[in-house]
Structures are given as C-alpha cells and as structure tokens.
Amino acid sequence: MKAGFSMKTGIKIVTIGGGSSYTPELIEGFIKRHNELPVSEIWLVDILEGNEKLQIVGELAKRMVKEANVPINIHLTLNRREALKNADFVTTQFRVGQLDARILDERIPAKYGMLGQETNGAGGVFKALRTVPVIYDIIEDIKELCKDAWLINFTNPAGVVSEAVFRYADFDKYVGVCNVPINLQIHFASVLNTKTKNLIPYIAGLNHMSYVLNVFHHGKNRLDEIIEDINKKQITMKNIDPLAWDYKFVKELGVYPSPYHKYTYYYDEMLKKFLVSYKNGETRAELVKKIEASLFEKYKDPNLKVKPQELEERGGAYYSDVACNVISSIYNDKRDYQVVNTGNKGHITDLPEGCAIEITCRITKDGPIPVHIGKLPVQIRGIIQETKAFEELLVDAIYEKNLDKALLALQINPFVKSIENAKLVFKDLVKAHRQYLDYYFEVKE
C-alpha cells in the first residue's frame, strides 16, 4: 500500500457528475492503468435531473470493466454523501443546469453582440456563479467524510474554480486539471517526431490563459523549432475554431499560445464567426447537445463494451489521461512532470502569492510541486495579470454573495467592450439562471 493511503483493499474513486458523456473515457483511463493504480470502487454520482444519463453511462461503465476483466465495482447513486465516505480521490466534472444552461450562456450574450463561451466573458462568469457554491459544498462534505481524499477538478471554468478553492475553501488537497496542455504536448511530439514522454514543456499562466515558455527534449529547448513549424502543422481542438495562427506574430511573441488564446488575439474574427453560428442555431453548446444525444443513444446499446470513438467529437479528448495521470502520480509518488492548476507560492512572481496558476509541476504523493518561472515575459505579462484581476474580483463576489461586484467583474473582463452592454447581458443572465442562483439571494429573501 502506498504511503499516505489507508490500509485497505484497493482505491476508492468518487466522480461527481458521473452521468457525464465524458465518463466512459474516465473509466477507460482507470482500466488502462489498473496495474499501477489498483482501483477497486468507482462511485458515479449525479443529481435527480441527471439520473437517466447516470443509469445509461453507468451500465456502459459496468460493461467496460467486465469486458476488460478488471476487479472494479461500479456504483451509481444520487446520494453524494453516501458515495464520499472513505474516498481516496474525488473527481468533479459536473455542469449546473446541464447543457441548456450553457446554451443560455452562449445565446444571451450574442443578442448584444458579445461573445458567449463557457469559460470566457459573460458565459464564464455565470458558469462560475452557478458552479463555485457547489464546489464549496462538496469540499465541506469531503472534509467531513473523507478528509484525506484528493479533489481533482475538471469542471469549468477551472481557473475561477481553482482560485475560489485556494482563496476561500481552506482546503489544500486540490488539483485543477485541463486537457489543453496535454493536447499541446501531443502536438509538439508530432512536430518533433518523438514521444510525449520525452518532452517537458514549461507552461505558465492561468487556465485557458497559459503559454508554453520552453519545450525540453532530452535537456534541449526546442520551442523555436516548434514555432518554425507553425505554417505546416498547427494544433486543433474540436471545441475551438481551427483559425490558423499568424507565424510572424507567434515568432515575435516568442512563446507558444494555447488554442484558447484565439479569443484574445483574434477576438473580432472569433466574434464574427460566433455570431454567424448564433444566427444559424449552431453555437458550440447547441452542437454539443446534438453530439451528446447521439452518444447516449450509442451508450444504450447493450453490445457496446468500450468507449466509442465518437466521444472525441465532444471536445474533451485526453481528459481521462490528464485526470488519471494526476491520480496515479499522487498515489505512486511518480514525481513526473504534468501541467495542472495549483497555488502560486512564488513560482510566478508577477502574480499574487497564493493565487491559482496553471503551471508545469512535478506530481508527488504530497501533490504538485511547480517549476520556478519567476518573471513572466513582458509580452504576455499584462494580459495574464488582467485576467487574474478579473478572476480575483469574481471569486470575491461569489464568496461575498455580491452580484453587484460580480457585474463589475464582468465589466472589467478582457472580452467585454461595453459596460452598458455588460449590464444588459448580466441582467438577462440572472433572470435566465435564477433557479440556480439561490446562493446569492439567501440573505435578501
């Protein structure tokens, strides 16, 4: 039994949001790693509104472990507290309001000519307003029922969620994860014709606002070669427009941006395309809803016993590799390099002490140990600091249950160009999501 884990047979995993379409990929990840990560129980947890999906995906999970002939027991429940008892790891992948809420997050800003997206701008603000209070509740349950468990969060907006946890939750055993860095690493390996395990990218910044500063291959930094190749081979992700990067811009920038930076550097172009998709009833959320409907029809097939290939269309490719790699590295004290969201303790000197950062870390039994970056390059420092100020203000607003401050956070968001439009969008989104915002009205009503 590994150090720091209780003397019992196997590892207990609890996945909150277990009815997610991503769950088969997570199950596949645990199956693949069973020799090094002896999971004995996986509890899939959801709420009543998600019960139908939970039952469908849960039965597929049971077929998958049976087909793989691994001794993992799958449990399905709507009782989160029952599931959490004596858990070793808790993963979170839920969406308050499900995809219909995401559709509102995208379509309402579009009415006012604003970008709607689940982690950026108004959509990101309201996803955070709905999500963070639930994360706080989950952490309180963990403290009571499985105080030694690690929380691995994949729920967006992961950067704001991580900031909220580090600022106000009084909880250290937390790691935020995202699949963007691993997609970048896979792309870099392809460019350099090597394996991902041979690369150590130094990535620093914030979730969906981090940059690749170096890519070490057998001790040599090969980032310049990767940038030189940008005209031939560019990274694409299913959930982000494949708009190509300008080679001269990236060369002068001197660091490698993530696909999400297209919302920053190509804002007008991305907004134009987004508004066309809005008019056609084809925003990303609406497309995802169709993809999910198709996926769940496939999941119902009693003959399906493996993760279907179509899941990659959902936009979360390699998610299980990220989550499972982190869990395995903590359990086995691997001390390997991975990119996660963790607390800043002087690792990036241009950002506040203790704030949430996305950074390359060694993953140990005691959690992530970040590499030291020091000062950020001047060409990326400002946009990262501006985004962090927005995250801090929004997290303060959530903790204080102060919607006026949340509006201010939206108004200073880098993707908002008019404070008057922000007022209108904010008012409409509060009305649209009112059933999920009771947390902010508890004192007043």
In a domain, 2, yes or no: no
In a domain, 353, yes or no: yes
Q: What is the pLDDT of residues 30-71, one digit of tens each?
A: 999 999 999 999 999 999 999 999 999 999 999 999 999 999
CA-CA-CA-CA torsion sign (353, 355, 357, 362): positive
What pLDDT, on the 0 to 100 scale, is given for residue 120? 87
Task: Please give the residue range of the domain that contains residue 201.
Answer: 7-445
Provide the residue type at 126 as one letter.
F
In a domain, 343, yes or no: yes
Least confident of 8-12, 200-204, 255-259, 324-328: 8-12
Beta pairing partners, 13: 42, 89
What pLDDT, on the 0 to 100 scale, is given for residue 241? 61
Q: Which of 175, 121, 181, 179 is nearest to 153 (CA)?
A: 175
Q: What is the pLDDT of residues 418-436, one digit of tens each?
A: 999 999 999 999 999 999 9
In a domain, 140, yes or no: yes
User: Which residue shows structure tokens 């070793």?
Assistant: 88
Q: What is the pLDDT of residues 233-276, one digit of tens each?
A: 666 655 556 678 899 999 999 999 998 999 999 999 999 999 99
Calculate mean pLDDT across residues 318-347. 95
Q: Please state the pTM of the whole predicted model.
A: 0.94
In a domain, 177, yes or no: yes
In a domain, 1, yes or no: no
What pLDDT, on the 0 to 100 scale, is given for residue 1? 47
Residues labelled as active-site residues: 260
Calculate mean pLDDT across residues 131-141. 98
Q: Which of 39, 31, 45 is nearest to 75 (CA)?
A: 45
For every residue of 321-376, DSSP letters joined together read HHHHHHHHHHHHT--EEEEEEEE-SSSBTTS-TT-EEEEEEEEETTEEEEPP-BSP
Does residue 157 have a cis peptide bond before it, meaning omega lies within 30 degrees of 0? yes
User: Which residue shows structure tokens 């309001």?
Assistant: 97
d(C-alpha 6, C-alpha 172), whole Å? 19
Which residues lie closer than 8 Å to 81 by C-beta, 6 or more apart?
141, 145
In a domain, 443, yes or no: yes
What CATH number does the domain containing 28 carry? 3.90.1820.10
> Is residue 208 within 8 Å of 260, Cβ to Cβ?
yes
d(C-alpha 248, C-alpha 228), whole Å? 10
Mean pLDDT of the chain: 93
Q: Give the up-direction half-sphere exposure of residue 435: CA atoms within 13 A in the CB hemisphere.
A: 6
Q: What is the pLDDT of residues 282-308, one digit of tens each?
A: 999 999 999 999 999 999 999 999 988
d(C-alpha 76, C-alpha 155), whole Å? 20
The angle formed by the CA atoms of residues 225, 387 and 394, to the nearest 5 degrees, is 150
In a domain, 128, yes or no: yes
What pLDDT, on the 0 to 100 scale, is given for residue 5? 57
What pLDDT, on the 0 to 100 scale, is given for residue 378? 98
Calculate mean pLDDT across residues 381-396. 98
Which of residues 200 and 442 earns the better pLDDT score? 200
Q: How many structural domains is the chain composed of? A: 1
What pLDDT, on the 0 to 100 scale, is given for residue 445? 45
